Every structure is written in structure tokens, then in C-alpha cells.
């Protein structure tokens, strides 16, 4: 076959006359172009490194300073106050055409100008860092901005007005501050007060005060020292101990899923949809490599940390016996594909050129049309990534460290990302409530062996053209993959498009090298381990009850009529729903981001507060006046918003206590208080899905172009996991998970309580959809 010949750069044959070399000019051309492309990337990285390193300065601003210095010299004005002459005297003596007095004077002025320019850059960066350390604007009421904040905003805009690259602000972002121990203890005790009776609270208060006075000061000193030395005192420990050292299976416990547009369908051709989507993803990766993506800005002013984006592509979680590690490559030119129990390697480039969507469609169609059966042990191989981490690490070392198995595994682990071509056709049908839940289950775990759960993300392409993502959690948090997904869906719909018959635009090149089937040699002993991992993962997957639904009566638009934040409204509704479901309150986790700080990730908002429980109890009693209930709700909402802001500004509770606990373990110090705090179960774990981080299209003009967000498994065996997306002005999507094995939880029952709680709170303010 022509493709096979092109795959070999040269061949040789030993003959009686010597060695006969046969060169493939086509293959050598591709190698040459690949090398050129690699050097282009290096040069772009060097250029970006320079531009990022001098931001908010630029080569042009340096030239302006040099010209001003030289110009003033010709006008007989010494703006350097003698420094140019001093530099000139310090220059080494020499001879030759470049050591004339004029040249030495010019060189001295260039050195002086460069020093002034770099000093200015340092000053501007430190000033910007100081400005970004101010968070008072977050605590001001909407429409009541102080004069100080207005001046602050103008200064920030002036210092960041030049078009920034993705990482331009990284060195200007402040470090995450270490809260004081008394403040953290006070906030902790306040958060558990509604969950404990008087005796339990007194016991916990005694433990906390004892810890604060005796153990904490020593631990805090080490933590402050780390905060001075490290870029972020939390993030590296959080990644290692919460994610990489966990030995539990990734499926259900850690990985989460993201849904496609659910109200529109661009094409029902599986390979065509995937061709456009993969092409759009590599376009995004190219923008990422060139730092052409704009940094995310809070309120359009404050830059968010972009460091998590660095490991979006070409990243795999490698299992270890005690701890996993994240392997990130600078580049990858292929994707790994799974279909009907077979693994393939599909190239993304021809030479230095990214394949067009129509070429990618053809390549994926070739995989779909391939009639070859799975090799022995190949079909369920990916179940190893779904089972226990220690078992996968042992199997990897024993059976995949050499030979063809290592080569095939490398092809998967070194891929840009993983692609799963499914034979099922789930799709959301508003007339069939169960359809969204089935779609979510397919994305969350599939059949437990048709996803490579270790990859940074897996694209799942269903037979009907519907898509979704399954994402590994250690490398980044949900808003990061959401940013990519918004770009990809917008590019697919509004920029790439399809023909009238649903295929990708353009004419494919039939001479492209066919997808490469990966070869395995999996012995019986390894197959037994694969089967065991599969049974472990299947038991987890079968135990998950997932209830996904669209809440239609109202959305963000009508919630605002209650004069509260949509997030606070939903969180208080969740407290009311949980109390009606379980008859008690529980420790509640809501994820908040700390990306206003360098390398910030998340912080916990403890949503179950004294104010929210007072409102819930009043609602359940049913004897209070509507005005009293409204007042209690507003107090609860105000409290929640304040806690959320505190978490975002580095004044949370749980990350500080988590790090103090780790320091105590390193020092061998026993703390009953920290041990108890870190063992408390989160029976209600919640998260809001970010949307419209980038404006790929006008949502008012295209109201049907909505994704349904995503979801995750329950954190506690007897608890709930709730993800929600406030999708525009008129709808909210919920993803509720629990475990069938728990007699106390039922995802659908809880979902119905959430519906009713939202309606009941809206009725307090006489907010109805008919009012809009």
C-alpha cells in the first residue's frame, strides 16, 4: 500500500554488491516539514517568553525610551543626570571600528535606556500586583461602588490596557495569603454550629481552642514559611494528596463529565461531527501554545490565573503504587481512538499541516469501517484505568514496560487526548425525562472499559453525532475544560459548519496514511487483572443513581427579581430540599475558585449556615408571615454571598486547615481537632458549572445553543452530588447523583425536592414566569 511505503523514510537491503539504500522522498519530506514545524514552535515559545517577560512593556516601548535618550543627548540635555557618562567610563577599553567615542556614547545610552525601561516594567508590575491584592470591590453592593474602588479600577485598566497574552499577568498576580489561625477557627466553629447540639458544639469548641493555643502557632509558622517560598501554599499539596495519592478508582470518584449542546444537532454523522470537533480542539491547542487566548477577567478587570491551562493537552495520569504522577508533553501529533474493543492511532498532521476537518472525518470513518476484531485481552483493557490505582500500577509495570505493549501504551499516553467512538445513541428529549440521565450516565462511566480515564480528557462521540467529555480532575478544575468546550462548540457551529448532507466541508485526501491499529500481547494473567478491574469499576458504576433534569419554570432572569445572586438562591433551595429529603441538615460543600491568586485552584464554601438553617426551619414550620420569611431568606442569601467572597479572596476555612493538617503530619504532631475536621463527611457536595467564559456567539440571538453542563458522582456513600448550570435567563440544569446502596438517599426524590424548593422560594417573592 502507498500509505505503508510513505511511513518508512528509508529501507536498505544487503546484497553481494553491498548495501542497497532505497529512500522514500515523500516520507523524508514529511520528516523535514515536521522538523520545521517543531522549530517554528520553539521560536514562537521564545518570542512569547520574551514578550510575556517584559509585559506591560514591549519592544516598541524600549525603542521609544532609547530614542528619547539619544534625542535628548543631541539636544544637549542630559536626562540621565550623568549616568550615561558614568556607564561610558565603565565600558571596557578596546580598539576597532566599534570603539569610537560616538559608538561608546551610543552604547552607553542604550544600556542606560534599557535599565530605565526594565526598572519601569518592574515598577508597573509591582504596582499592578499591589492593586490586584485589593479585594474590597467584591464586598461592595451592586450599584454602590465607592470612589476608592472606582479609582482602583481605572488604575488596573491603565496598567493592563495593552493587549495581554494568556500568561502575561501570571507574575503580577498576588500570592494566596495564609489566613490567621484565630480567624479560621472562628469561621469553622460558626460553620458547624447549626449542625451540632449544645454538648457537641461545646466539645468541638474546646478542641478548637486547645488547638489554637497549643499546636497551631508552630504549624502556622511552617505554613507561612512555605507561602513565602512557594508560588501557592495550597495547590501542590492539594494536587498530590487529594488527587494523586488517592488509591480509589477514578471512575465515579474523581472524573466528571461535560455535555454537548442539547437543543440543536448540527449533524447526525458521527465521523463528521468528530472531524470538526477534533480540528477545533487542535486549533484551540495552537492558540494555547502561542498564548493567543485572552486571559479570563473577573468583571472584565481582574485577571484570573491561567496556569491550569498548561496541562490541558498531551497529559496523562500515570499510575503509581503509592502516588500517581501527571505526565505532560510539550507536543503530540496524534490522538488515540477506541472503537468496538480496538485501539487506533490517528495522526492529526500531514507534515507540518493540521488535517482539515474533512480529512479527519475520513480517518475516523476508516476506524468505524475497520472490520478487524479485538485482539485477546484488548477489548476491556481500558478497565485498568477504571479500577484501583495500585492494581493498575502493578499491572503496568509487569505487563506494559517493554515490547509491543509498551509501544502501544505509549501511543495512548502520549496522545493529545483520547477519543471514544461509541455505538450507543443517547440524546436529550424534553418529552422523555429519563433521556438526560441516560446521557449523563454514558458520559460519567460508559461501560467502564470504553474510556481511558487517565487521559486529561476523553471525547465521547456517539453514533448519532452527539458528543460529550469525560475529564480527569487532577490537572485542572471544571472551568478550565469549560473554556475549551465553549470554544470548540462555538467553532464547530459558527465557523466550520457542514454540508447539506451533514459532512465536513471540503474534499478529503484519500492518500493520507490510514489510522494505525495498536498491537498488543496480553497474557492470561494480565487478562485476569483486567477483568478484576472491570468488576470493581462496574460495581461502582452500577451503584450510581444519576438524575439529570431541566428546571423550566424560571432561570437567572426571574431570580434577580428576588434581589439576590442566582447562586445563593440555588444553594438555599438545596438546603431546603435536603432538609425535606432527610429531615436534618448536613455539612455542605460548594466549590469556589481562588484563581485571582497565582496558581490558585479552589476553596470550599460551607453553604449550610445558621442563617440558611433558620430560613429552612421557618419554611418547614409553615407558621411564619411571608414578610418574615423574606427577611430570613435575604439574611441567608447575604451570608452566603459573603462566605463565597471570603473563599474567593483567600479567607476560606478548609484549605487552611488541610495544609495545617499536612504540616502536623510532616512534624509528627498529633491534633485531635484537625483529625476530626478532616474526617467529617461531605454529605451534600455541590458545584455550579461556569458558562459563557468566552463570547463565541450571542446567547440572546441563539437561545437554543445551550449545553446542559455536567456532573460528578456522590462524595459520600450516603450523600448527594449536585451540579447545576444556570443556563441563561430562563432555565437551570441539575445533575443529581447518589448511590443505590444507600437506603437513605434517592437522586430522583432529591431532584423533585429541589424543584419544589425553587418554586416555594420564588412564591415568597411572588415571582412567576408569567411576570416576565
If you write DSSP's letter for every residue of 620-650 in order, what string do you get?
HH--S-HHHHHHHHHHHHHHHHHHHHHHHTT
**CB 283 within 8 Å of CB 499:** no
C-alpha distances in angstroms, 466 versus 273, 335, 444, 702? 8, 19, 15, 19
Cis status, amide bond into 734, omega within 30 of 0:
no
Burial 385-423 (b: 16+ CB within 10 A, else e): bbbbbebbbebbeebbeeeebeebbebbbbbbbbbbbbe
**Phi, psi of 143, deg, nearest 5:** 85, 0
Side-chain half-sphere of 3: how many Cα atoms within 13 Å? 11
The C-alpha atoms of residue 304 and residue 296 are separated, in whole angstroms, by 5
Query: Half-sphere exposure (CA, 13 Å, Cβ side) for 702?
Result: 14
107: helix, coil or strand?
helix
> CA 726 to CA 723: how far, in whole Å?
10
What are the cell numbers at 210? 486547645
Distance CA 730, CA 102 (A): 72
Q: Of 561, 583, 542, which is closest to residue 753 (Cα–Cα)?
A: 583
Residues labelled as active-site residues: 473
Residues 592, 652 contacting (CB under 8 angstroms): yes
Question: CB-based burial of residue 253 (10 Å sphere; 0-12 exposed, 13-18 middle, 19+ buried)?
Answer: middle
CB 562 within 8 A of CB 763: no
Task: Decide: 664 and 674 in contact? Cβ < 8 Å.
Answer: yes
Amino acid at each position: 500500500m502507498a500509505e505503508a511505503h510513505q511511513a518508512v523514510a528509508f529501507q536498505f537491503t544487503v546484497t553481494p554488491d553491498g548495501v542497497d539504500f532505497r529512500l522514500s522522498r515523500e516520507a523524508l519530506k514529511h520528516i523535514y516539514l515536521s522538523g520545521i514545524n517543531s522549530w517554528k514552535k520553539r521560536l514562537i515559545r521564545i518570542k512569547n517568553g520574551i514578550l510575556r517577560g517584559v509585559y506591560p512593556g514591549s519592544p516598541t516601548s524600549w525603542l521609544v525610551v532609547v530614542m528619547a535618550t539619544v534625542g535628548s543627548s543631541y539636544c544637549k540635555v542630559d536626562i540621565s543626570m550623568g549616568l550615561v557618562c558614568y556607564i561610558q567610563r565603565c565600558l571596557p577599553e578596546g580598539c576597532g571600528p566599534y570603539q569610537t567615542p560616538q559608538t561608546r556614547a551610543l552604547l552607553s545610552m542604550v544600556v542606560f535606556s534599557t535599565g530605565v525601561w526594565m526598572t519601569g516594567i518592574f515598577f508597573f508590575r509591582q504596582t499592578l500586583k499591589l492593586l490586584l491584592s485589593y479585594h474590597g470591590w467584591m464586598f461592595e453592593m451592586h450599584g454602590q461602588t465607592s470612589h476608592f474602588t472606582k479609582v482602583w479600577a481605572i488604575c488596573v485598566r491603565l496598567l493592563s490596557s495593552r493587549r495581554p497574552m494568556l500568561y502575561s499577568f501570571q507574575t503580577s498576580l498576588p500570592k494566596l495569603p495564609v489566613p490567621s489561625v484565630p480567624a479560621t477557627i472562628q469561621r469553622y466553629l460558626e460553620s458547624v454550629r447549626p449542625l451540632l447540639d449544645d454538648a457537641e458544639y461545646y466539645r468541638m469548641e474546646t478542641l478548637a481552642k486547645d488547638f489554637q493555643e497549643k499546636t497551631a502557632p508552630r504549624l502556622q509558622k511552617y505554613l507561612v514559611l512555605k507561602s513565602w517560598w512557594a508560588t501557592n501554599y495550597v495547590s501542590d499539596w492539594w494536587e498530590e494528596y487529594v488527587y494523586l495519592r488517592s488509591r480509589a478508582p477514578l471512575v465515579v470518584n474523581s472524573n466528571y463529565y461535560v455535555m454537548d449542546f442539547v437543543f440543536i444537532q448540527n449533524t447526525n454523522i458521527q465521523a463528521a461531527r468528530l472531524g470538526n470537533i477534533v480540528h477545533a480542539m487542535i486549533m484551540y491547542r495552537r492558540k494555547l501554545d502561542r498564548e493567543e487566548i485572552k486571559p479570563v477577567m473577573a468583571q472584565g478587570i481582574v485577571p484570573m490565573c491561567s496556569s491550569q491551562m498548561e496541562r490541558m493537552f498531551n497529559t496523562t495520569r500515570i499510575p503509581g503504587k503509592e502516588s500517581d504522577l501527571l505526565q505532560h508533553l510539550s507536543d503530540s501529533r496524534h490522538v488515540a481512538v477506541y472503537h468496538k474493543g480496538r485501539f487506533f492511532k490517528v495522526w492529526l498532521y500531514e507534515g507540518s499541516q493540521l488535517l482539515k476537518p474533512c480529512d479527519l472525518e475520513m480517518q475516523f470513518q476508516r476506524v468505524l469501517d475497520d472490520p478487524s476484531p479485538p485482539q485477546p485481552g484488548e477489548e476491556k483493557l481500558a478497565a485498568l484505568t477504571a479500577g484501583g490505582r495500585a492494581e493498575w500500577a502493578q499491572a503496568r509495570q509487569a505487563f506494559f514496560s517493554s515490547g509491543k505493549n509498551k509501544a502501544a501504551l505509549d501511543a495512548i499516553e502520549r496522545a493529545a487526548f483520547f477519543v471514544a467512538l461509541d455505538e450507543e445513541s443517547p440524546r436529550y428529549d424534553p418529552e422523555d425525562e429519563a433521556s438526560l440521565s441516560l446521557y449523563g450516565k454514558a458520559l460519567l462511566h460508559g461501560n467502564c472499559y470504553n474510556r481511558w480515564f487517565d487521559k486529561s480528557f476523553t471525547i465521547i462521540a456517539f453514533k448519532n453525532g452527539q458528543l460529550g467529555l469525560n475529564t480527569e480532575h487532577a490537572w485542572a478544575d471544571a472551568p478550565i475544560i469549560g473554556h475549551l468546550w465553549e470554544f470548540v462548540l462555538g467553532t464547530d457551529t459558527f465557523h466550520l459548519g457542514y454540508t447539506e448532507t451533514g459532512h465536513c466541508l471540503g474534499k478529503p485526501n484519500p492518500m493520507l496514511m490510514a489510522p494505525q491499529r495498536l498491537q498488543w500481547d496480553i497474557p492470561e494473567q494480565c487478562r485476569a487483572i483486567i477483568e478484576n478491574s472491570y468488576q470493581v469499576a462496574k460495581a461502582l458504576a452500577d451503584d450510581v443513581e444519576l438524575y439529570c433534569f431541566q428546571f423550566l419554570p424560571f432561570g437567572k432572569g426571574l431570580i434577580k427579581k428576588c434581589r439576590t445572586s442566582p447562586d445563593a438562591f440555588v444553594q438555599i433551595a438545596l438546603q431546603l430540599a435536603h432538609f425535606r429529603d432527610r429531615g436534618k441538615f448536613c455539612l455542605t460543600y460548594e466549590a469556589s475558585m481562588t484563581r485571582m491568586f497565582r496558581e490558585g485552584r479552589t476553596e470550599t464554601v460551607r453553604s449550610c449556615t445558621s442563617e440558611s438553617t433558620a430560613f429552612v426551619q421557618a419554611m418547614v414550620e409553615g407558621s411564619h408571615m411571608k414578610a418574615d420569611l423574606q427577611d430570613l431568606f435575604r439574611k441567608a442569601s447575604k451570608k452566603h454571598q459573603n462566605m463565597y467572597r471570603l473563599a474567593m479572596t483567600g479567607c476560606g476555612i478548609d484549605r487552611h486547615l488541610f495544609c495545617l493538617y499536612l504540616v502536623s503530619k510532616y512534624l509528627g504532631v498529633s491534633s485531635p481537632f484537625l483529625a476530626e475536621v478532616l474526617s467529617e463527611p461531605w454529605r451534600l457536595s455541590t458545584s455550579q458549572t461556569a458558562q459563557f467564559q468566552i463570547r463565541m456567539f450571542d446567547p440572546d440571538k441563539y437561545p437554543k445553543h445551550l449545553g446542559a453542563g455536567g456532573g460528578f458522582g456522590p462524595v459520600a456513600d450516603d450523600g448527594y452530588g449536585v451540579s447545576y448550570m444556570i443556563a441563561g435567563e430562563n432555565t437551570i440544569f441539575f445533575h443529581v447523583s447518589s448511590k443505590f446502596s444507600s437506603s437513605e438517599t434517592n437522586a430522583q426524590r432529591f431532584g423533585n425536592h429541589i424543584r419544589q424548593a425553587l418554586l416555594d422560594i420564588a412564591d415568597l417573592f411572588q415571582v412567576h414566569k408569567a411576570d416576565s
